[in-house]
Structure 1
Amino acid sequence: MDTEVTIVMYHYIREIKSSRFPGIKGLEIKDFKGQVEFLRHNYNIISVEHLIAAIHEGEKLPPKAALLTFDDAYIDHYMHAFPILQNLGIQGSFYVPAKMIIENKVLDVNKIHFVLATMQDVNLLIKQLFKEIDIIRREFELPDNEVLYKTYAITNGKDTGEVMFVKRMLQKVLPQPYRSELVNRMFEEAIGMDEVAFSKELYINKEQMRHMIAGGMHLGNHTYSHPWLNTLSTPEQKMEILSCNKLLEDVGVDMENWTMCFPHGGHNEDTLSILKDLGCKLGFSVKVKVANTKNDNFLALPRLDTNDLPKSLNK
């Protein structure tokens, strides 16, 4: 019996080189098309409902099953991925951070992406960060800058150590509320554009969500504000999840088969307990490996990144 499923994770899908922010790391549209063709010829692409049935009802998976997942509800997904998948009769599973749709905010993680994309020299950004950290240190105990850099400037294999230092400082290490205030200030200085207008350009809206559901796509929970869930209390985690579910229900998602994708991959045992109590059918992490429905927890299934697979039928 086949128990393996290759779950592929996507983020930005756009014509990167000709976009307003060519420094953004993402997947070119032609490469997305090429990878979908590769997957069609070498795997059996299934729906999220098929995977749910396999896990909860014992339905058989085809050999070399694959599932396509898309994080953060970018307009790229509606404009580029959705038409390609719909034309081929393939379902994609799209994970929505509700606050960005409801309040027209920009995720901190995206603000950091765009700040980095506008910088010619990341070392200048690091110098600016050190100055800000020195100010924060007057009110909050932090290791000295040399220790911070040595601890967090470590490549993840995709980004340099310098870039990872910036990301780690601004995503998780620096304390709140200093971290968000600093990210907001850097974003405003780098982009010079109203956040609401930028958000409407970056993410899908409710009507587009409804169109995607009508077109056979699956929309899932990516929390309300996209936090690291494992840094929150149990009540805070539950509120993040329930608040996103309200949006999903509003746009017509089948809440009998709702699924979850952890922002940044962050989760803990409390997260899994909440999901179980709320009847979540599947959860997705960022652990990198092929998922096994027999051995892996169905509420924290691992995925492969798009960069882990060929982007052409001929490779």
Structure 2
Amino acid sequence: MSSHHQLDVVMYHFVRPIEQSRWPGIKGLEASAFDTQLDYLEATYDVLTPKDAIAALRGDRPLSRRSCLLTFDDGYKDHFTHVFPRLQERNLKGIFFPPACAALDRHMLDVNKIHFILAGGSDPKQLGNLIDEAVRAHPGLPAPDTFRDEHHHAFGYDTADVIYVKRMLQHALPSKLRRTLADDLFAQTVSSDAGSFADDLYCNVDDLREMHEAGHMIGSHGNAHVWLDRMNADDQRADIFNSFRLFDAIGMPNSNFTFCYPYGSYNQETLSCLEAMCCVAAFTTKPESATPGSDGLLEIPRLDTNVFPPRAQAAPFAMTA
């Protein structure tokens, strides 16, 4: 059974007081704006529970009106401190996708090191120059101009200088070099104690267990939050399997789990791995509404929070690509 109504899966990352914080450059949703957005969503949509949304996407639950599902990536403490209480007050439920390495090992994600390096007030042009110096000093790498030709381009909200820093530290450089650079820049510009910073930044197992017991769904965001489409099938399978240790710690079954692709990155081998592991639904960053009963359950599109009021100022692709 299919429905003519669409389902908008809303994607959130940081939800916190931002403007008056130590990190006003962090790109996220102000906690007060989250209240306004929930008002809008409740007035405009049927806000589904995860279970009902998955049933609708499967085509088993007809939708009487346009509906939405709330999803939250990366396991930030924001979600426990600012999101969870607000959802509880409204009797709304969402899916939360914490990487196992952050929740269990208190490991700073590479993407978050980059976020805070850029949010700490450092000039992205100067950061790019420091990266170029490291490239020149590293044997066997092309000249910095080669990297700049490919990666120094504005995209979405970000300037070319910001995108260059992001791409170079995310995936363009060899893994050992980019991690060394990210660690050094993080220590210089953010904190010399990454472990303590991670303790404050991410939910812990007790937080996630409380949210799960309150009726929210905890899904997998992988073990190490890596670009899956840059890995072979065995390594992808290992990363996904290792993420199940978080389910074990929370006291959840590993079967019939949901998954969210880190960086929106996956390929056919990822899909095969998830299918073999009995994943019931997997979420992408493809910026579209989902059509229940027709979209593949392992390639569910989502829309960024900025597409909706009170922001509603960005084209869907701008924050999701």
| 1:197-238, Cα deviation, whole Å (9 max, x unpaired) | 111100000001111011111110000110000111111111
Q: Which amino acid in 1 is paired with 2:11?
A: M
CA distance in 2, matches of 1:99, 1:43: 34
Which residue does 2:188 correspond to in 1?
Answer: 189
Which residue does 2:292 correspond to in 1?
Answer: 293
Taking structure 2 as the reference length, what is the TM-score of the superposition?
0.92
RMSD of equivalent CA atoms:
1.6
Residue 181 (structure 1) shift: 1.2
Residue 120 (structure 1) shift: 3.8
Answer whether contact 2:57 2:291 (CA < 8 A) is retained: no
Residue 196 (structure 1) shift: 1.2
Residue 24 (structure 1) shift: 1.1
Q: Which amino acid in 2 is paired with 1:79?
A: T
Which residue does 2:98 correspond to in 1?
Answer: 96
| Identical positions, percent | 35
Q: Secondary structure of the residue that 2:56 maps to in structure 1?
A: helix
1:152 counterpart = 2:162: no
After superposition, the Cα gap between the structure-2 partners of 1:57 and 1:25, relative to the gap in structure 1 and judged at 3 Å, is closer
Which residue does 1:263 correspond to in 2?
Answer: 262
Residue 289 (structure 1) shift: 1.0
Which residue does 2:227 correspond to in 1?
Answer: 228
Match among 6, 14, 17 for residue 15 of structure 1 = 17
Answer whether contact 2:100 2:223 (CA < 8 A) is retained: yes
CA distance in 1, matches of 2:57, 2:18: 37
Q: Which amino acid in 1 is paired with 2:87?
A: L
Residue 296 (structure 1) shift: 2.1
CA distance in 2, matches of 1:148, 1:256: 42
Answer whether contact 1:220 1:258 (CA < 8 A) is retained: yes
Gaps in structure 1 of 5+ consecutive residues: none
Q: How many residues align?
A: 310
After superposition, the Cα gap between the structure-2 partners of 1:65 and 1:58, relative to the gap in structure 1 and judged at 3 Å, is same
After superposition, the Cα gap between the structure-2 partners of 1:259 and 1:284, relative to the gap in structure 1 and judged at 3 Å, is same
Q: Secondary structure of the residue that 2:29 maps to in structure 1?
A: coil
Residue 3 (structure 1) shift: 4.8
CA distance in 2, matches of 1:295, 1:164: 35
CA distance in 2, matches of 1:17, 1:55: 37
CA distance in 2, matches of 1:37, 1:171: 36
CA distance in 2, matches of 1:256, 1:45: 25
Residue 246 (structure 1) shift: 2.2
Residue 249 (structure 1) shift: 3.1
Residue 293 (structure 1) shift: 2.5
The 5 A counterparts of 1:165-184 are 165-184=164-183
Answer whether contact 2:122 2:189 (CA < 8 A) is retained: no
Residue 129 (structure 1) shift: 1.0
CA distance in 2, matches of 1:4, 1:95: 23
Q: Which amino acid in 2 is paired with 1:301?
A: I
Deviates more, 1:82-91 or 1:251-260: 251-260
Answer whether contact 2:229 2:265 (CA < 8 A) is retained: yes
Match among 106, 115, 119 for residue 121 of structure 2 = 119
Answer whether contact 1:260 1:283 (CA < 8 A) is retained: yes
| 1:255-278, Cα deviation, whole Å (9 max, x unpaired) | 444100000000000000011111
| 1:103-149, Cα deviation, whole Å (9 max, x unpaired) | 1110000000111111342111111111011112x2x332x322321
Which residue does 1:62 correspond to in 2?
Answer: 64
Answer whether contact 1:38 1:312 (CA < 8 A) is retained: no
Residue 168 (structure 1) shift: 0.5
The 5 A counterparts of 1:19-30 are 19-30=21-32
Q: Which amino acid in 1 is paired with 2:193?
A: D
Which residue does 1:279 correspond to in 2?
Answer: 278
Answer whether contact 1:3 1:294 (CA < 8 A) is retained: no
Taking structure 1 as the reference length, what is the TM-score of the superposition?
0.94
Q: Secondary structure of the residue that 1:67 maps to in structure 2?
A: strand
